[in-house]
Chains A and B, each alone.
Chain A
């Protein structure tokens, strides 16, 4: 039998899980990553991973996890696969436990669970406050083991440029660039799984890592892979403002009892700790008595925006509110939250065990992503699969905290065997694809590099990026107004036009990070339009997508998946029904029992 060859692009949780599954199936796999996979963005996930193991005797079930996820996502997710994910979650925890993840333990030696936003149950397993890091390392170690046994070949320091698609519209491999030699090469494969993560960089500053540009998704979109629900962008309520990055302050801070408040008098200049209880406004607890500080992220984010921009109650008139853990004992904080509190301390020089933290919402996650089918993570282009944050499947209009890690591992675990099955079913694999197909793609990408590197431009890519980030953050995050969205699109189109006149300050041929960034930037601009125009089209409020002019969810017109397509260089939107076969939609409210 023909030995299939599979490529995985992206070495975060989803990519590593897919890789392991393929290697386990005895199929050889090439793993491409921009950074050494151990440095992938998954390390930034802090709080935990959800699974209804019901280990606290609360009567939690996988159905309740499923219901919370669908409800939290405002009924936009296709339900059957979400249900499968929630049912698989306890097994995923067991697997990670067996891989040696140092989850926190109960006195009995079992895994400990904490509460997270959008649920009433202790459902979140955690390893200190660096769960994502621990999970990524566990999978990284397994991949390293397969690598040492020659089942996996890593291509770290390679950036994906494009898929190689033959005349029949079937993916036959990828074209990638070595970030040191800048050499552009094609790599044949029978199936390719993309696990290329988030798109934070199109918002300039976000909680995402530097590599989360969405460049791969956008390149694929421009090659015919549809992009779904792009307008659903999660803004995390609590991040530490910074000029280079908005550093996440995990929801686990609230899960462990952290409280959000502002002084009742915004002119109050006393140190936070000397403001008496009676003069503090715990607005989340006040407005949402049932969930309190643990309302889902979109709710908390909008509440903070309302406090700052409408009620004008931001701390000392600034865009910030307090996230307070000072009432929790130092011992508990050090045991359960040390990792995240340490970040605050390190980057601001203030000890959050002593002083309430100042936080503000920040772009955090894209619920939208590459369109995949509801069985096995396949996109609409044969041979291309997607898993993890880069696809749209699991979180509907809003993701619940600690659900991303489980969706990455579940999706990756599904995509791996699916790609193997697909590759084995092919009558003719990549080996019988003509070399001309590869050579043409390589040339096309080389030409793009040449065009960027030619010295006749005037525009600095860093400047274009900054302007893109500013306009996206201002108009396409928490509150969306159609007029502003149109303004944003005009601006992005202007940036696209300026991008055509780019001038690289580095034209060398070795480890040219400027060239790589410029390539990513071109893709970011296109994806930014997908997000912006998708938001413009959707005249309702649902989950993270909030339009004050259309404040209600509109199931009659908008209980639909947005499906953006690239047709002749233009973005076109189509809509398809959501599979609501399991839980009928109901109003989503967190100020009362659901």
Chain B
């Protein structure tokens, strides 16, 4: 640490989607329990680089600041992290902040993760209820099923699993672990299971589950500890059964 009273932050910036990236460095006064969001707010209040140059505040996405909205994911010291839970005292300095590399940059650290929401549409990630009018209670469910499904339902669509996946890149539009795990969640639900086949079929389209190459980075990077590799394995089984055995036994 250069100075116990300072936090040095290097930010990879880009003025627009087509802009050329450049780096800026900031020196901020250290306080206890600082996180990366607090650093970015400090910069917004006094946007002056370490060299004394006036600059613009840094664009970044954030909302809940408690790791449930999925907004503030970025690369922190080269790793996919949520900025709100990245505590300064636990990071090596200078702290390097970069936008996710697998999504188009909007500006600075803000990226466009619409791909994930489009993918959720592709795999029909919902329970197709008849309507919101009163149709009585939902299906009963074993506590065991709920306990298995609940962790999957906590996915915040932050995109970390796509960011760290070697199979997601410019040459390959892999749908990613988060979406596959959502399919597992919906196929697990008694009503959702009635429509399992169409979700599985969507998962077998180009860029689908077959593009997973089992590097298992996703499960390590997931900030919500979702058992993504289990989900992928489970969906793999459902998929090949449908693709290879489905036409035999219906």
**Residues on A close to B: CB < 8 A?**
17, 20-21, 24, 35-36, 38-41, 43-44, 91, 94-95, 97-100, 102-110, 127-128, 130, 133-134, 137-138, 141-142, 144-145, 147-148, 180, 209-211, 242-245, 247-248, 335, 339, 343, 346-349, 413, 460, 462-463, 466, 505-506, 508, 510-511, 513-514
Contact B107 A109 (CB under 8 A): no
Bound complex: CA A145 to CA B157 (Å)? 17
How far apart sit A247 and B146, CA to CA, in the bound complex (Å)? 27
Considering residues B31, B85, B90, which has the most beta carbons from chain A within 10 angstroms of its beta carbon?
B85
Known contacts A36-B117, A508-B15, A508-B56; decide if A41 and B63 are in contact (CB<8 Å).
yes
A17 to B114, CA, bound (A): 22
Knowing A102-B146, A105-B143 are in contact, say whether A343-B117 is a contact too (CB < 8 A): no
Q: Tell me which residues across on chain B come within 8 A of A348, comparing CB atoms.
A: 33
Q: List 10 A-B contacts (CB under 8 A).
A: A36-B113, A41-B64, A94-B137, A108-B140, A144-B125, A180-B107, A343-B66, A462-B41, A506-B57, A513-B59
- In angstroms, Cα B33 to Cα A346, docked, is 12
B2 within 8 A of A: no
Does any Cβ of A come within 8 Å of B204's Cβ?
no
Compute how far the CA of A99 lies from the CA of B131 in the bound complex, rounded to whole angstroms. 10
Q: Is the CB of B106 within 8 A of A100?
A: no
CB pair B134–A137 under 8 Å, yes or no, is no
Within 8 A of A (CB), among B135-169: 135-138, 140-143, 146-147, 149-150, 153-154, 156-157
How far, in whole Å, are A98 and B133 apart by their CA atoms in the complex? 11
> What is the 8 Å Cβ interface bit string for chain B, positions 67-79, against chain A (1 contact, 0 not)?
1111100000000
- Asked if A20 contacts B66 (CB within 8 A), the reply is no
Contact A127 B150 (CB under 8 A): yes
Q: Which of A41, A211, A335, A462 has the largest number of chain B CB atoms within 10 A?
A: A462
Verify B106–A511 contact, CB threshold 8 A. yes
Interface bin, chain B:
35 or more
Closest B residue to A505 using CB positions: B47
Q: A210-B62, A463-B45 are in contact. Are A98 and B127 (CB under 8 A)?
A: yes
B106 close to A210 (CB less than 8 A): no
- Of the candidate stretches B91-99, B184-192, B214-222, the one touching chain A is B184-192
Expressed in whole angstroms, the Cα–Cα distance for A104 and B146 within the complex equals 7
Question: In the complex, what residues of A have CB within 8 A of residue B84's CB?
Answer: 244-245
Within 8 A of A (CB), among B7-35: 15-16, 31, 33-35
Q: Are A242 and B67 in contact (CB under 8 A)?
A: no
Q: A43-B68, A244-B38, A511-B107 are in contact. Are A97 and B150 (CB under 8 A)?
A: no
A349: contacting residue among B46, B54, B87, B142, CB under 8 A: B87
- The smallest C-beta distance from A111 to any residue of chain B, in angstroms, reads 8
Cα(A510)–Cα(B15), bound, Å: 8
Which residue of the partner chain B has the closest CB to A335? B147
With A144-B117, A244-B84 as contacts: A513 and B31 at CB distance below 8 Å: no
> Looking at the complex, which one of A141, A210, A463, A514 makes contact with B57 (CB distance below 8 Å)?
A514
Chain B residues numbered 48-68 whose CB sits less than 8 Å from any CB in chain A: 54-57, 59-68
In this assembly, does B171 line the interface, its C-beta being within 8 Å of a C-beta of chain A?
no
Give complex CA distance A330, B99 in Å. 38
Q: Are A244 and B135 in contact (CB-based, < 8 A)? A: no
Given contacts A243-B38, A460-B45, A510-B107, contact A505 B138 (CB under 8 A): no
**A-B pairs with CB below 8 Å: how many?**
188
Residue numbers in A under 8 Å from B62 (CB-CB): 210
Chain A nearest Cβ from B41, distance in angstroms: 7
Are A44 and B45 within 8 A (Cβ)?
no
Question: Which residue of A has the minimal Cβ distance to B135?
Answer: A98
Do the beta carbons of B64 and A343 come within 8 Å of each other?
no
Contact A102 B37, beta carbon cutoff 8 Å: no
Cα distance A115–B99 when bound, in Å? 43
List chain B residues, Cβ under 8 A from A94: 134-138
Taking CB atoms, residues of chain A closer than 8 Å to B113 are: 36
Tell me the minimal C-beta distance from A103 to chain B in angstroms: 7
Establish whether residues B132 and A145, one from each chain, have CB atoms under 8 Å apart when the complex forms.
no
**Is B129 an interface position by the 8 A CB rule?**
yes
Of the residues A128, A247, A510, contact of B66 by C-beta under 8 Å: A247
Those 10 A-B pairs whose CB atoms lie nearest each other, nearest first: A97-B138, A109-B140, A141-B126, A511-B107, A462-B45, A100-B127, A506-B56, A98-B138, A39-B69, A245-B65
Contact (Cβ within 8 A) A100 B135: no
List A contacts of B135 (CB < 8 A): 94, 98
Contact A109 B65 (CB under 8 A): no
Rounded to whole angstroms, the CA-CA distance of A128 and B225 in the bound complex is 15
Cα–Cα distance between A108 and B114 once the two chains are bound (Å) = 40
**Distance A511 CA – B104 CA, assembled complex (angstroms):** 14
* B44, B128, B147 — most chain A CB neighbours (10 Å): B44
Given contacts A142-B126, A145-B124, 9 further A-B contacts (CB under 8 A): A36-B117, A39-B63, A95-B129, A97-B137, A100-B126, A133-B156, A210-B64, A339-B154, A466-B45
